[in-house]
Structures are given as C-alpha cells and as structure tokens.
Amino acid sequence: MFDVEKIRQEFPILGIQVNGKNLVYLDNAATTQKPKSVINSLVKYYETRNSNVHRGVHFLSDKATTEYENARSNIARYINAEKPHELIFVRGTTEAVNLAASSYGEIAVKAGDEVIVSYLEHHSNIVPWQLLCERKGASLKVIPVNDSGELDIEAYKKLLNGKTKIVAVNHISNSLGTINPVKEIIRLAHDAGAVVLIDGAQSVQHTKINVLDLDADFFAFSGHKMYGPTGIGVLYGKEKLLDSMPPYQGGGDMIQNVSFEKTTYNELPYKFEAGTPDISGAIVLSDAVDFILSAGIENIANHEHEILEYGTAKLREIDGFRLIGSAKKKASVISFLLDGIHPYDTGMILDKMGIAVRTGLHCTEPLMKRFGIPGTVRASIAMYNTKSELDLLVEGVKKAKKMLL
C-alpha cells in the first residue's frame, strides 16, 4: 500500500521551515527532493568506495567499477532496455540531446533534410536541433499544439516526408503536463523512415517506461528529476544506432588505441563516456530507481493523479483562475495564471507562505508565445505531495489575489 506520510518521512528536507512556515514543495518538475537512501548512499560511496573506474587493478577501483556498471544494468532494467551498454551516462537530458544531435545528427542529416520538434519542447530539445540544422543547411519543422496544449497529430502526419530524418519530442510536457502519444508518434516517424528521440525528463519519475515497447530510438532523462542527484542522466540509444555514430567527445576511456596518426575507439558505452564519469552520481541514481520501485511506479502515478485532479478542481473554483494546459491526458503539472496578475508576483507571495512553485517561461518560450502569455505559475507534483499541501496552495493563491488586485 502507498502511504504518503511514510514516504514523506524519507525526505528530510520536507521537514524544514521556509519564512516561518512548513515547506510546501511544488517545484518538482524543476527538480525533485532526495530521499535518505539516496543521500546516505552518496555519503557511503565517498566514505567507503571512492575510486576511479575502469582504470585500476586495486580493490577500490574494482569495487567502484562493479557498482558503476551494476547501476547501468539496474537503470537499463528500469526503462526495459535490452542491453545495459545501450545506456550512456551523461550530465542530464540537456547533454543527452546534445550528444544525439551532434553525433547522430552528424551522420544522418544533410542539406535539405528536415528535423521535427514540437511546440511543447523544452529549450534543450529545440536548440541542439536548431544548431544541427544551421550547421547542415537542414530545416526545423514544428508540430503545432491546440488550445488545450495537445499536439496536433494530423498536422504532424503532414509534416512527415522523405526528407524527415529525426523527430524529437517530449513524453510529458514540463510546462503543461500534457502526456504525448509517443508510441504513435514513433510509429508514424518510423513509417516515414525517421529516427525518434524521446525527451523523458518529465516521464521517467511518473510513469512506467518501456523503451522496447515504445520502439524509441533514443530516450533521454535526468537523474535529479527522479529523486536522484544532479549532474547525472542517461541517453538510451539502440545499439545499432549508437554503433554507427561517431564519438561525441574525445579523451580518456573512450579510446581503444591512440597514436598521433590514428586513434581507434572503445566499444559501447565507453565510446561516448570520455573522461572520468560521474561515478557516484550513477551509483546513487540507481538507488533512486530502487526507491521509486519500492514505492511502486503505478502507486506513484495513481497518487499523483489524485492530487492533480484534486488541486486542479479546487483552484478552478477561484474567480480569475486560468488553467494553461487542459489536455485530456495530463500528469503532475498545474500551470496557471490569475487574471490581471503577473505570474512572478503570485510566486513571490506564495514563497512568503513557504510554498515553492516556479514562475516564468519554464524554458519553453515558443510555447508561451503560442499561448500569448508572459509565462505561468507552475505547481508540479511528486510522490510526496498531499491534498493538504494543495489546500495550502489554494489558500495562498486566494491571498495573492486579494493582495495584488
């Protein structure tokens, strides 16, 4: 059984006070808080196992290497990848997309080709593709969204053609919470001969991921949004694609042999992991995965959905409340505006009440322009949030309205 109070006890930071009030943390789409098991694992790593990987014959190096590779296998199982070496450890989603755009883009895209993204994308799933298109003389096409914040799949079908080489879309929108029909998006792209990258930054922590069932070519995510540490993330790629790609960065570990005349490269995944990786980050991310598994990803999804529905319904009762993003399928994000009030001002007043929300463009400037708004106030939900926290948010929003209008 999912017991939210028990879960909350695992997160020390949830006990702190902010501005004299109990913290209400609703900025989980930006980053989640960390459970004790993750924090303790990080300390334990540096106290008992710290060493460099893949380089030493000594006890500690062997131990660190084994745990680093075990972490890869565990995380591979979590997303149902066929082979652990299809997971490349990177700094986060941003680096994962840049790796795919630079390396796969290099061999797949030429002048006149097209890359498709969507209006819902985070800047980190727009700009790397834009840079690629500029380098190659290719063009960037954009799947439109309707007024509810859902992708227009009919328009997407019309964008696909023989020139489409890559489609890059997110699984769940960080700004609106829209759950995109990624399986269908991938199937349609494959029918057109294109390869698909799914930005899973907002889905790995909320829903079961099965990269095989999705048939995703690339899948990117960040550790810090799934109860793990900052500085670690994953690019999953199908072995065949990763094998065909040139290295992204040069340095130690990614080579087989080096001479001044010619260097040969290491096998997967090391070909893409130049230099000393974030060893502790990978190991601790695996602990974060175990934490999610112990709570149960379906339990988490159900709990968060209940909180989302509850909070949305309560907020909708407030006069002048405008929900931005009302997709039929939504996860864990309530983005909104109050008539006549700038989102930043609402956020400042909520902060005085100990409530952490995000305000602004959420790194989705084109999407905000599409809706003709200066940004939103975004409350984003994680497994440890409760209905009473959403009640406090509602109270805070009412107070902000009273003070600012």
Residues classed as catalytic = 363
| Backbone torsion region of residue 75, taken as left when φ is above 0, otherwise alpha when ψ lies between -120 and 50, otherwise beta | alpha
Write the binding mask 123 to 162 for ligand PMP: x where contact by CB under 6 A, - elsewhere: -xx-------------------------------------
Query: Shortest CA distance to 336 belongs to which of 249, 383, 394, 403?
Result: 394
Site for ligand PMP in 92-111 (CB under 6 A): 92-94
**Minimal CA–CA distance to 87: which of 194, 214, 219?**
219
Chain positions 288 to 327 lying near ligand PMP, rule: CB under 6 A, are: none
The interface mask with ligand PMP, positions 19-58, x = CB under 6 A, is: ----------x-----------------------------
> Judged by CB, which is closer to ligand PMP: 94, or 385?
94
Which run of H or of E encompasses 370?
A: helix 365-371
Distances (CA, A) of 31 to 87, 209, 231, 245, 331: 22, 19, 12, 31, 15
Q: Which residues are bridge partners to 24 per DSSP?
A: 355
**Among 243, 266, 274, 269, CA closest to 85:** 269
Name the segment binding ligand PMP (CB under 6 A); options: 102-110, 180-188, 194-202, 292-300.
194-202
Alpha helices in 32-181 (DSSP H): 36-44, 59-78, 93-99, 105-108, 127-136, 153-159
Q: Which is nearer to ligand PMP, 266 or 286 (CB)?
A: 286
**Is the CB of 114 or the CB of 199 nearer to ligand PMP?**
199
Around Cβ 369, how many Cβ atoms within 10 Å?
12
Please, which residue, 201 or 355, has the CB nearer to ligand PMP?
A: 201
Q: Which of 55, 62, 107, 96 is nearest to 251 (CA)?
A: 55
Token digits of residue 88: 């490349």
**Which segment (56-64, 120-128, 379-387, 388-396) binds ligand PMP by CB under 6 A?**
120-128
Which of 204/300 has CB closer to ligand PMP?
204
Least distance from C-beta 61 to ligand PMP, angstroms? Answer: 29
Distance, in Å, from the CA atom of 26 to the CA atom of 386, rounded to the nearest integer, reads 10
Bridge partner residues of 145 (DSSP): 151
Closest separation between CB of residue 124 and ligand PMP, Å? 4
Contacts of 284 (CB under 8 A, 6+ apart): 38, 41, 42, 45, 223, 228, 229, 232
Count Cβ atoms below 10 Å from residue 137 Cβ, excluding itself: 11
The interface with ligand PMP within residues 213-272 (CB under 6 A) comprises: 222
| 202 forms part of the interface with ligand PMP (CB under 6 A) | yes
Residue 359 has phi, psi (to 5 degrees) of -130, 150
Residues 350-389 interacting with ligand PMP (rule: CB under 6 A): 363
> In angstroms, what is the minimal distance from the CB of 363 to ligand PMP?
6
Spatial contact of 253 and 273, defined as CB atoms under 8 Å apart: yes
Q: Which stretch binds ligand PMP (CB under 6 A): 55-63, 86-94, 300-308, 384-392?
A: 86-94
Which range in 117-125, 148-156, 184-192, 284-292 contacts ligand PMP by CB under 6 A?
117-125
Q: Smallest gap, in angstroms, from Cβ of residue 122 to ligand PMP?
A: 3
Residue number with CB closer to ligand PMP (90 or 400):
90
Assess contact for 359 and 209: CB atoms under 8 A.
no
**Among residues 28, 41, 103, 170, which is the contact residue for ligand PMP, using CB under 6 A?**
170
Number of residues that bind ligand PMP (CB under 6 A): 14
Residue with smaller CB distance to ligand PMP, 202 or 266: 202
| Strand pairing report for 255-257 and 114-118 | unpaired
Binding part of the chain for ligand PMP, among 176-184, 198-206, 256-264, 327-335 by CB under 6 A, reads 198-206
Q: Give strand ranges (E) for 276-343.
A: 321-323, 333-338
Name the one range near ligand PMP by CB under 6 A: 197-205, 246-254, 266-274, 344-352.
197-205
Nearest to ligand PMP of 170, 207 (CB atom): 170
What residues line the site for ligand PMP (CB under 6 A)? 29, 92-94, 122, 124-125, 170, 174, 199, 201-202, 222, 363
